[in-house]
Structure 1
Amino acid sequence: MKLTFYGGAGTVTGSKILLEVNYTKILIDCGLFQGLKDLRLKNWEPLPLDLNELDLVLLTHAHLDHSGYLPILIKNGYRGKIYCTSATRDLTKIILLDSAKIQEEDARRAAKYNYSKHTKPVPLYTVSDVKKTLEHFKIIESNKWLKINDEIELKLLNSGHILGSVFVILKINGEILVFSGDIGRKNPILLPKYEYVDKADYLVIESTYGNRLHKKTSINNKLLECIEQTYAKGGVLMIPTFSVERAQEIIYLLSILKRENKLPNIPIYLDSPMGVNATEVYFSHKNNHKLTSEDIKSMIDTVQLISDVRASKTVVSDNNPKIIMAGSGMITGGRILHYLDKYIEHKKNSILIVGFQAEGTRGKALLSGDSELKFFGKYYKIKAEVFKINAFSGHADQSELIDWLQHFKSPPKLTFINHGEPHQSQALKTKIRTTLNWNCTVAKMNKTYTLV
């Protein structure tokens, strides 16, 4: 058996892990690189893999850094199945279609305003490519063993990260391999907590927050504080929002504040076609989250959902106080840019960051205290106040990662630490060695590891 990390090693984007078992080749996740330009350029590089020899793709969850390369895989010749849960399939469809539309729009805008070095800018993939990709999805149930072939069995367990997210467990000739994907919080806002795994011979674990402990703060109080401070100035509160999970969490918390009569009387919008569609998917998968029918009704009554472009333009042009949630969460594109275009250079307005911001993203630039932000081919002065709520994270912190690991009955032969910036992965490696005395290593990009 061999493992090769084609992404998500030394970084938190582009997750791709190739597992080779004799002549069987399985790709665990197939993500897009985001953030720094050097990483984004990797999306244009062909995988050093003969796609005719790839037998199967396993998807841990729908996020773009785990699913976004799939249309390229199909476009370049992969003809096999993509296994995942039902909720992951439904969310991945929304995410990939949105990604393709944004890339098409960016290419058109770059051509129109001539700010690309390419004579004819082209998208990585198109909506048509995504539709072809969706034909390859195969839904499998969680908590049940599935025989892949004579050597390999597969089981998925809830990881508590986003709707439909799972740990991948493979039983291969008596050896057990576990791939964590992204691990959620011990007490998620909307989801059941992650399930524990009791055995692994080889383990691959994420380390997004391998060096950090999330602050124990009241998210509701902090959210209300940001709203009240902005409202007192007569401004607009802009929340760059991850359309899957984060948008639904914020809507839920706002609905609680509204039920408690704590919110000022201002309109609240989710201006994101993907966010609107993801919210509808959320409501349709009632067995995968903790929301009651009353919760769902309250959420629907709290926020105005906007998909139509004309309605979006109307909301952008309205200068009255309001709360806006719009994609994308790291401000790499999407409708949030149109709000920033109008409101970022005015002190009365605010921007609330509610999730992890990868290196090289505009969201990271805001948190770093940059004085300017570039988009639409020009620079904008950052005069709006910038808030941050860390407690929204959908990733386990160091203590929660250790909690999950402590439930293994015996140490794996080897634990691979991936999906983290170098200092985060190294910190988790040190913590695992000192706390659990396990044999572990930090995975390196494009390196092949022989297991047995």
Structure 2
Amino acid sequence: MSVSITFLGGADTVTGSKYLVRQGDQCLMVDCGLFQGYKQLRLRNWTPLPIAPNTVNAVVLTHAHLDHSGYLPLLVKEGFTGRVYASPGTQDLCKILLPDSGHIQEEDAAFANRHGLSKHTPALPLYSRQDALDCLPQIKTMGLGKIFEPIPGWKVTLSTAGHILGACSVLLEVAGRRILFSGDLGRPDDSLMYPPDPPPVADTVLIESTYGDRQHPPEDLMAELGPALHRLAARGGVAVVPVFAVGRAQAVLHAIAQLKASGQVQRSLPVFLDSPMAVHTTHLFEKHMGEHRLTAKEAHALTHSAVMINSTDESRALSARHGPMVILSASGMATGGRVLHHLEQRAGDHRNMIILTGYQAPGTRGAKLANGDKSIRIHGHDVDVKAEVVQLQSASAHADADQLLNWLRSMPGRPDQVYVVHGDQKASDTLRGRIEHELDMRAMVPEHGSTWPS
């Protein structure tokens, strides 16, 4: 009986990863992510899946970022009762990320209702914090390199993908087929995470393409960040740094600590990490020693590299402080969370700085800032942007185009088919062309909602 893959997300766009593998009346979902970015993409989160959640047998997560795991509470709320398989690091991060996601959605809905900003009465969250807590018991941890069966006869092996704590590639063996899901692949030279494992032999490969049309610059994060913070301190400004709470926040904190230690940035420059989610994630590096490059001493120092802000009162108190100082706050593309309040307060002052730390999906506030927009809309009104906007090119936790090709090139043998996913259209199609011409592999960019044989 044939095996098929339906692309329910992560196709035509860089978010919403959901891949449904079917064989007969059995089906496995690999990743269960939220759409982010343009409104028309975010609206897909509200559109029912073309399959009843209670007919999905199991879910396997590559990692915990919300564009790969953030739909899980809704899947469970709407009837999914099976197991969710993940690495230990991914489980720990989901315990942090998913309830926070539900909480933010509840807060955003409440804000919209208070200020009449929604076309719906009342505005509702996609799911609540309690919905997220309810789904967590269904997550079962599996060690890397160990074969397990999420569905009887369906064999899965997880391998290191780099990128963030717990991130994995997924090899699925079903009905004589070997299907490899790259997940988000990290960089071989990442400052925190180990490089991805070489790919195993596979018949079908789904490879991410976030940076499928770009190469990372030769300079490292410290070389980019140091001069920016030096300028900021000299004029007494405040840097607002939208960060992904998982991975990016810790990489930036580590770089600032190294800059201070080397004297490139004054040791007295105050740094604040205003994100409970990022604070909790930072402490996980000590729990998961051996899964990253940091020594025990460095992992411990990371937890003391900034003033850790947890409560909303502590966050509000930052608004009364003057520069120079650095505020790291989620989210990384400025789509929600506490960073919006900091941007709202600080963006209009030319002494201040907004530091973007990686890829900004089209349609996000981060993308508008990166494009030089002089005004961004926050909480229903327009905010002037007079602060200096700095976009770091070296902070990404994703492999670039050459690194993606090198990973695929190292695969034993040649797959029958490569599907290029999890990228915007230009990035995905550019990588597709390079895979075909440089590696002589069959490659295509699947459309959202399409179904193809494995």
Normalization by structure 2: what TM-score?
A: 0.97
Partner SS state of residue 392, structure 1 = coil
Q: Does 1:191 align with 2:193?
A: yes
2:138 to 120, 124, 136: 136
Residue type at the aligned position of 1:378: H
1:350 aligns with 2:319: no
Would the alpha carbon gap of residues 50 and 244 (structure 1) be closer, same or farther in structure 2, given more than 3 Å must change?
same
Separation in 1, partners of 2:392, 2:170: 30
- SS of the residue corresponding to residue 303 of structure 2 reads helix
The equivalent of 2:42 in structure 1 is 40
Are residues 148 and 30 of structure 1, via their aligned partners in 2, closer, same or farther at CA, if it must alter by over 3 Å?
A: closer
Match of residue 241 from structure 1: 243
The answer to whether structure 1 residue 324 and structure 2 residue 327 are counterparts is yes
Conserved? CA contact 1:258–1:302, under 8 Å = no
Determine whether 1:367 maps to 2:370.
Answer: yes
* SS of 2:350 mapped into structure 1: coil
Shift in Å at residue 22 of structure 1? 2.0
Please point out which of 424, 438, 448 is paired with 1:435. 438
Q: How many residues align?
A: 451
Q: Structure 1 residues 122, 291: closer, same or farther in 2, change over 3 A?
A: same
Kept in 1, the 8 Å contact 2:161–2:195? The answer is yes
Q: Deviations over 1:339-397 (max 9, x none)?
A: 11211101000000001111110000001111101011110111000001111111111
* Matched ranges for 1:53-132 at <5 A: 53-132=55-134
**One-letter amino acid of the structure 1 residue matched with residue 130 of structure 2:** S
Q: For residue 158 of structure 1, what is the aligned residue in structure 2?
A: 160
What code does the residue aligned with 1:266 have?
A: L
1:18-77 deviations in Å (ceiling 9; x for gaps):
000222100000000101000011111110102222101000000000001001101110
Aligned match of 2:15 in 13, 16, 31? 13
- By how many angstroms is 1:297 displaced? 3.3
Tell me which residue corresponds to 2:305: 302
Q: Give 1:198 shift.
A: 3.2
The gaps in structure 1 that reach 5 residues or longer are none
Q: Which moved more, 1:281-290 or 1:16-25?
A: 281-290
Is 1:274–2:277 an aligned residue pair? yes
8 Å Cα contact 2:83/2:150 also seen in 1: no
With structure 1 as the length reference, what TM-score do the two structures score? 0.98
Shift of 1:299: 2.3
Shift of 1:6: 0.5
Counterparts of residues 362-441 of structure 1 (less than 5 Å): 362-441=365-444
Give me the whole-angstrom Cα distance separating, in 2, the residues matched to 1:100 and 1:119. 19
Q: Is the 8 A contact 2:243 2:330 kept in 1?
A: yes
SS at match of 1:262: coil
> In the alignment, residue 328 of structure 1 is paired with which amino acid?
S
Shift of 1:281: 1.6
How far apart, in 2, do the equivalents of 1:102 and 1:18 lie? 28
- Does the CA-based 8 Å contact 1:178-1:200 persist in structure 2? yes
Following superposition, the deviation at residue 147 of structure 1 comes to: 3.1
CA contact (8 A) 1:13 1:419 kept: yes
CA contact 1:27–1:57 (8 Å) conserved in 2: yes
Displacement of 1:408 in angstroms is 1.2
* SS of residue in 1 equivalent to 2:304: helix
Tell me the secondary structure at the aligned position of residue 216 of structure 1.
coil
**Unmatched runs of 5 consecutive residues or more in structure 2:** none
SS in 1 for 2:349: coil
Structure 1 residue runs of 4 or more that deviate by more than 4 Å after TM superposition: none
Per-residue deviation, 1:258: 1.9
Equivalent pair of 2:64/2:93 in contact (CA under 8 Å): yes
Q: Percent same amino acid at aligned positions?
A: 38
The verdict on how the C-alpha distance between 1:149 and 1:313 changes in structure 2, with shifts beyond 3 A counting, is closer
Letter in 1 for 2:258: I
**Cα distance, 1:282 vs structure 2:** 2.2
- Look up the SS of the partner of 1:254 in the other structure: helix
Q: Which moved more, 1:369-378 or 1:289-298?
A: 289-298
Q: Measured at CA, do residues 260 and 132 of structure 1 come closer, stay the same or move farther in structure 2, by a change above 3 Å?
A: same
